[in-house]
């Protein structure tokens, strides 16, 4: 499939720091060979002893075999991590017993090649749903080849290896001073369509050499996910494979952060959120066929959760997304999306802005409404939709993209 690069694609892949305590390798297993494409489609990360991890996964009731295994491994392994392997080209979702056999074979290969425990190995797959592999050991047989060439991560190659309909590889990272220790974070993500994470097909991994207690890392990741990946949407569809994991090797040498009261915790949480937010924004900016990006901010709600529900209702509306694509500042569709959310709203106080242009005030069209000014906002590549519900102090922000003919073209040809 020949894809037009997103207009928001960065000029180059970012320079990410080398995270201590891990090695990686990528390779081509041939998942795309039937399409006449030779490309890296598998990556392997191996972590030093003492690495811990946290993860949040899709809440879909048709979650993939890989997601189900990762949930189990997190619990039985108490957050310990030694390996991660992911492939693109096949999601191993809705594959029944054959999907479990694929995972068993891959895990057996990892334990044999690396000498690690099964419950410290994590798996991921992304691609077409409902197509079991003809050979359960298809990925497992490739593990020794990857293990033989482990080295310092090539972040861009890893980011490319699990791309599907992405038009560019996604990476983000930072170096943070945490209590006098230099801590490094690097993350990669893939996702372009089937993006409405509920924990985008979305996979994201962040690696750090910070030292954080497992329970605290898991708790922090859940909060970070809600403010980043769970606040983006491309098409309103929650994948069977949505995964966000963080691996902390502790190789920075810092003493572990064990509680929120630790004065170093805020700095770590801020660094992790920064990387995850960057990756999440790259996902929505690579939305299939996207030409415009909107920040949807809802205030004056009865609670933050209510504000989030309204913002998602606006961000997922096909009518609003197609209006964005056409540059049509049809603010009546915003009113519609507020109403269909079934959240508390004071109609006599409802107000709407496009950037700084107020289009609705006190439950009606703004007295000084100017169609030309509103349309000028919707003609921009990036703009803001703000809504005040007039009932409380709750607020939330969600990011979305428009819906163009390109989305139909890409998804109509996805399996060909």
Catalytic residues: 201
Widest CA span in the chain: 72
91 Cβ contact partners less than 8 Å away, ≥ 6 residues apart: 64, 125, 126, 127, 128, 129, 201, 240, 241
Cα distances from 85 to residues 107, 125, 164, 290, 413, in angstroms, run 9, 9, 16, 30, 28
Beta-ladder partners of 189: 170, 204
Which sign, positive or negative, has the C-alpha torsion 287, 289, 293, 297?
Answer: negative
Q: Are 169 and 156 in contact (CB under 8 A)?
A: yes
CA distance 175 to 183: 6
CB atoms within 10 A of CB 164: 21
Look at residues 213, 229, 344 and name the one whose alpha carbon lies nearest to residue 279: 229
Q: Locate 389 and state its tokens.
A: 């519900």
Per DSSP bridges, beta strands 357-361 and 170-178 are: unpaired
User: Could you say which DSSP state residue 175 is in?
Assistant: E
Lookup: tokens for 87: 């492939």
What are the Cα distances from residue 356, in Å, to 45, 238, 244, 298, 374? 46, 32, 35, 14, 9
Cα separations (Å) of 129 from 32, 63, 90, 317?
Answer: 15, 10, 7, 25
């Amino acid at each position: 499939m020949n894809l037009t690069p997103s207009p928001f694609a960065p000029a180059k892949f970012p320079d990410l720091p080398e995270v201590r305590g891990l090695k990686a390798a990528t390779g081509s297993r041939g998942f795309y060979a039937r399409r006449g494409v030779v490309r890296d489609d598998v990556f392997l990360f191996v972590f030093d002893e003492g690495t811990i991890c946290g993860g949040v996964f899709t809440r879909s009731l048709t979650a993939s075999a890989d997601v189900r295994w990762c949930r189990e491994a997190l619990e039985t392994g108490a957050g310990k991590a030694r390996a991660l392997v992911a492939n693109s080209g096949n999601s191993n979702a809705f594959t029944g017993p054959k999907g479990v056999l694929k995972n068993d074979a891959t895990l057996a290969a990892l334990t044999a090649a690396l000498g690690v425990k099964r419950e410290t190995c994590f798996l991921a797959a992304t691609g077409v749903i409902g197509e079991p592999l003809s050979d359960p050991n298809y990925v497992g047989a490739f593990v020794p080849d990857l293990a033989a060439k482990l080295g310092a991560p090539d972040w861009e190659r890893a980011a490319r290896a699990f791309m599907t309909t992405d038009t560019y590889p996604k990476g983000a990272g930072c170096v943070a001073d945490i209590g006098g220790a230099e801590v490094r974070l690097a993350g990669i993500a893939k996702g372009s369509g089937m993006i409405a994470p509920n924990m985008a097909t979305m996979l994201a991994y962040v690696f750090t050499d910070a030292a954080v207690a497992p329970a605290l890392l898991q708790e922090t990741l859940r909060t970070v996910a809600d403010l980043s990946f769970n606040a983006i949407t491309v098409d309103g569809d929650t994948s069977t494979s949505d995964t966000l994991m963080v691996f902390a090797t502790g190789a920075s040498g810092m003493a572990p952060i064990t509680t929120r009261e630790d004065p170093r915790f805020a700095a770590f949480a801020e660094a992790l959120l920064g990387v995850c937010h960057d990756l999440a924004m790259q996902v929505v900016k690579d939305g299939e066929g996207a030409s415009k990006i909107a920040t949807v901010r809802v205030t004056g709600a009865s609670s933050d959760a209510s504000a989030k529900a309204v913002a998602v209702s606006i961000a997922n509306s096909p009518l609003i997304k197609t209006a964005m694509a056409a540059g049509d500042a049809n603010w009546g569709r915003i009113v519609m999306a507020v109403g269909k959310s079934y959240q508390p709203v004071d109609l006599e106080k409802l107000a709407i802005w496009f950037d700084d242009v107020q289009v609705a005030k006190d439950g009606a069209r703004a007295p000084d409404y100017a169609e030309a000014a509103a349309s000028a906002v919707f003609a921009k590549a990036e703009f803001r939709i703000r809504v005040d519900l007039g009932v409380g102090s709750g607020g939330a922000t969600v990011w979305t993209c428009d819906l163009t003919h390109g989305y139909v073209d890409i998804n109509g040809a996805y399996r060909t």
